[in-house]
Amino acid sequence: MNDNQALSTPPPSVSLKQAFWYWLKLGFISFGGPAGQIAIMHQDLVENKRWISERRYLHALNYCMLLPGPEAQQLATYIGWLMHRSWGGIMAGGLFVLPSLLILIGLSWIYMAYGHLPAVAGVLYGIKPAVTAIVLFAAYRIGSRALKNAWLWAMAALAFLAIFVLHAPFPLIVLVAGVLGAIGGKLAPKYFNLGGGHGKSNQHFGPALIDDNTPTPEHARFNAKKLVNLALIGLGLWGGVIGWLCAKYGWDGALTQMSWFFTKAALLTFGGAYAVLPYVYQGAVEHYHWLTPTQMIDGLALGETTPGPLIMVVTFVGFVAGWSQALFGSEHLFLAGAVAATVVTYFTFLPSFLFILAGGPLVESTHNNLKFTAPLTGITAAVVGVILNLAAFFAYHVFWPRGFSDELDSFALLIGLAAILALFRYKAGVIPVIACSGAAGLLLTFLKPWLSQHGVNL
């Protein structure tokens, strides 16, 4: 069969086993944040494998953008569910996260056990200024896509002032932004249309297994009984675990409080991980004191270097919290960290699966409906201001590690400026920027003694 004939017929059906190996591979190569992950899936599933058509892919993506949670992981869950029912969705979404969970537990252990070593500390020293640049670039990237008019610019500015000056809690900012977006959708609808930012394409790559006109499979059609059953199962999976933790350790126990806190965080991740990180910081660092500000920045640095959703930084938060509090005694620090990391990850991602499995059949009724999309437009605008605040927070702690009253860390600033130049001017990828910055920090570690001997103090 020649190429033209191959592109004129749909590809052969895909077994659950074949899908398993693809989703597992994706879990190990899904670098680059949501934009990169969505691009990888588009190239694989739409262009090369033709498991799903361009239009159906974008249809699913637009729905995932409306939800709190990591949109790329939810998109994988949605496609897996569409192809192989609920277990297919659970498999796709779970394998998207599992490699990152295991890698981050390993990196968190190295960080806690050996982070004091000069080589490890040097790499992290170089990565942190790059993370500051990456967060600033994220604010620019989202802002350039979302802030299409003066109303949305004003909402972003107000959100920044609310959290930077007034220290308003993130949930309140999300709530107010959603209400303002809903009001704006009624009074000035043309300013509050959802700007997906991913674009639409008229390209056609040949017939797909799930094509534009492929009938909706029976399991993907709305059924009120199924919806109720899924809601009850989800409530059982959430309530059963948190109830057991409460009975075992009490409501004020660290694992119980982590479960409750990260359940709330999971429901507030509109706009991606960068948007919810200030809320995680407010709770994990300022309220519960599970980790220090420096450890929070280090966690984001590690999260940027691993595959999977960036919100996986919560795995690091959980590990450090479990380790530092010695939940199971000083002789079981790794076990405490690993258990806490797993509990935090479970409660962070459980709602994402439920949103897809329960809400998938309702996609057609909500797609492109302004009353659903206008609040998201308002929230997305506010998210830009929140992310800018996060960049300011990181810059303060990285470039003035001992406060404004002390000296500026000129070498860290130099790495940060180089990272900004690479991202903005040369469109470099996140991973190369992280790698080069870490190498610069490591090099400085070995050069410091020699520089000190020659009267250069950094």
Per DSSP, the residues of 185-230 read HHH-GGGS----SS-------S--SB-TTPPPPGGGS--HHHHHHH
Phi, psi of 291 (to 5 degrees): -155, 170
Residue 185 pLDDT: 85
Residue 35 pLDDT: 63
458 residues of the chain, pLDDT tens digit each: 444 545 668 788 899 999 999 999 999 877 656 766 887 888 889 888 999 988 788 778 767 876 778 888 999 999 999 999 999 999 999 999 999 999 999 999 999 998 777 887 888 888 888 888 887 887 887 788 778 899 999 999 999 999 888 888 777 887 898 899 889 888 888 888 654 444 444 456 788 888 878 887 888 888 888 889 999 999 999 999 999 999 999 999 999 999 999 999 888 766 566 667 778 888 999 899 999 988 988 888 788 778 888 889 999 999 999 999 999 999 999 999 999 999 999 999 999 999 999 888 876 454 445 566 677 788 878 878 877 887 887 788 888 887 777 788 888 999 999 999 998 998 887 778 888 998 999 998 888 777 666 666 65
Q: Which of 176, 182, 174, 137 is nearest to 270 (CA)?
A: 174
In a domain, 52, yes or no: no
Per the structure block, which two tokens stand in for 237? Answer: 């999976």
In a domain, 74, yes or no: no
Residue 234 pLDDT: 93
In a domain, 403, yes or no: yes
Which residues form the domain of 189?
Answer: 100-199+223-453
In a domain, 64, yes or no: no
Q: How many domains does the chain have?
A: 1
Contact 261, 245 (CB under 8 A): no
Residue 134 makes CB contacts below 8 A (sequence gap 6+) with: 304, 419, 423, 430, 433, 434
Per the structure block, which two tokens stand in for 219? Answer: 């399991």
**Residues 50, 55, 56, 59, CA torsion sign:** positive
Residue 198 pLDDT: 42
Q: Which of 184, 182, 206, 168 is nearest to 52 (CA)?
A: 206
In a domain, 84, yes or no: no
Q: State how far the Cα of 95 lies from the Cα of 72, in Å rounded to an integer.
A: 12
Contact 119, 132 (CB under 8 A): no
Residue 410 pLDDT: 87
Phi, psi of 52 (to 5 degrees): -145, 145
- Report DSSP state, residue 310: G
- Report DSSP state, residue 52: B
**Residues 438, 441, 445, 450, CA torsion sign:** positive
In a domain, 306, yes or no: yes
Residue 30 pLDDT: 79
Q: State how far the Cα of 39 lies from the Cα of 430, in Å rounded to an integer.
A: 15
Q: State how far the Cα of 366 lies from the Cα of 66, in Å rounded to an integer.
A: 10
Phi, psi of 200 (to 5 degrees): -120, 150
pTM: 0.75
Element (H, E) at 261: helix 254-266
In a domain, 56, yes or no: no
Per the structure block, which two tokens stand in for 349? Answer: 């991602």
In a domain, 371, yes or no: yes
